[in-house]
Chains A and B, each alone.
Chain A
């Protein structure tokens, strides 16, 4: 039952901070969030050790009965989910600690909300990872979407941030829609949502129908992991605070897509046509995002594109049937991507959150030596240089793709060449060269406080050593791969070539970058604008949709509905006015006034017989008596 605590700690932290954060204060809230995450990590280790021996499930309760089938919510621990849980908790803990330093200048401005969201983010991700059924996974999936929306738009005074948050939410919604229908189709095909039951029955289902379900599920992964064509939210999500970017890109949000495909891999495996689509989308995104990263100049967006590209590689590996390499790359990637983001955040922090462009800073090597070191550890790991983490995992993917197809191998090698080039381009521009920030900023950039540096160093150590766990990881997932020495050497050489190119251009200036920029401007713009997809979405689809809505509003609402209503209004007034004149004035009023006038006049006349003369009264008496007697005689006689 202590396995349940893993998921409850972040949730408790979320509730505590969310409900009482204002009274607790921002620093206490931060510490509670860190504790929730760290305790989850501690409790995930015994669960991991237990799961390595034998996978086990924790049943929580019967959630809902669907016809003959009762859906039981529960957690499932096997090596895949247990290792991912530990990884997510460890990286999140580091990022949470880092965020104390990063957000310090905002303390006192309701920053506890930030920590509540972070804890909720972690909780949702753990729910995705550990859930033993698709519905539980979907809960986490939506929770992650919500938390990312709240965190990307955390600086909600800025229009840009709220727009980015909205974009992320809408893009994810498209993916979630597909994912939901994937779950429906899985339930339709299997009559079950429990993962283990699905895996045991997967061979009995028609692969064509399964292919459709798999494509729908993959649609969800595309949205969540920022793959083409639902990718534009990912670079724009950089509007959030840097710890959020780090969390989003390393362990929580985008990893969910890859993890989901890996989790449901038996299902995907049984639908080979679906896997081809996964590979195609992955490969496309890998190339697309690396090209965009080579030309972008935003500190964080370059790293964001790099994430897209690495996730594309993971999907490619999943698509060609190498699930374990993909998951191992996800693990190592979490370390060095978090590290890169935290280092970038350290630079942004040094400039008091005003630095955005890599050409706005320069020569930071002497001011920020530790950040310099950690950034380059991350960059080396990303580029795949021995012995850093990326080398081991990326090498597996490269080897698998060469096994699958030689052309595919060349393609992946080219992507890793680009990867090495763009990340070192960013590093060289920021840490070498002239101090471009001179004159724009009054203070000298300073090294970050130790509360930020310690997580960075821990992650740097992780990025260095985690690759050596490859053998252990593969044994845990019951897989074994031979190292291909020639592929390993060639991929390191390719990465070194990329680094060398970046070095020559941006440090030695053998080719002048500005002249190069001028001559390659159209290509540069194309890459930077992500082949104009973002512009197409924003200007074409979004604005087209807005224009369509506005047009429909004018035609449908203003013209048809309002016109109809106004016509009714007009007619009603006409009819009512007619009735008023005819009925009220000419009939009722005339009658009432007539009665009044008649009574008035008649009274005037009638009062004249009231003379007061005794003789008259006697005459009336006589008249009355005669009439009465006449009546009596007439009727009685």
Chain B
């Protein structure tokens, strides 16, 4: 009857491992050396890092916040920061950088060039390390190249961020200026109409007085002459003033021409003037790009002294682990195989087979000898068989 499976216990495992300890150590060391050798021969890659802080104030516009909407949601802020960083890595910039550092191998083919560009883009990483800070890194085949590339990328990103904000403020200022001019013109028109109405009233009174005076005095009377000349002067003054709103003025402006809007228009005009003034100050300040307050380079690009890939220690460790794993698999396999191997007597006992005996060992040289001689001996056999 077949025996039950052997029980595996700790001491047995220890004994098996101990009996194979030299094998384990040698194979593990060999694989560790192989890992070291691999780490030595495969191309090295260097990574230069830099950290950029984009403060929330970048997205805030005091006094014009009602014109340029501020972002306050943290996740949206983060998304906007990432979008701005990605915007900096434009196709043109990547191409320029690629040519500068000779990164593209396929200059002729557009498709291959696009693939090269995409591969290069994958070597540039940027991710947030804190709510406002982003780590930017770039991988290159030499330490110096990665360092210079990181510098270029950082400069491109800061320039893009500043330019984007500057352009945004410039657009706001342009719009405010336009609106201010419009209101200025509107208010001027509105004043002229009121003045004409007053002068018309005054002219009517003077004309009435002149008619009354003419009925009593001759035309050559000095009083009549004086009134007549004053009336003519007033009429000339009235004729220079617009008698109604211009037909070319759009509906939007016409609203402001309403006399009842005069006060409100004045208020808006004052407010816009204040905003315009503020924007002028801000833009003046931000023209000096070295001293913007919302961008800070926390960590300047680093010059990597050791390759980030391959890491020799990791390769050695991985090699050693792999080697050890292989030896353990091999030992386990051998043990399982050995546990299933039976001696002839065990097999005979377990499976109720009579053990008749054992052939003498056939030496390998005899075995080969027999196999080699066979084709030559066919013609000389006592049992040569012939077809009849």
Same assembly: no
Q: Taking beta carbons and an 8 Å cutoff, which residues of A are in contact with B? A: none
Q: Taking beta carbons and an 8 Å cutoff, which residues of B are in contact with A? A: none
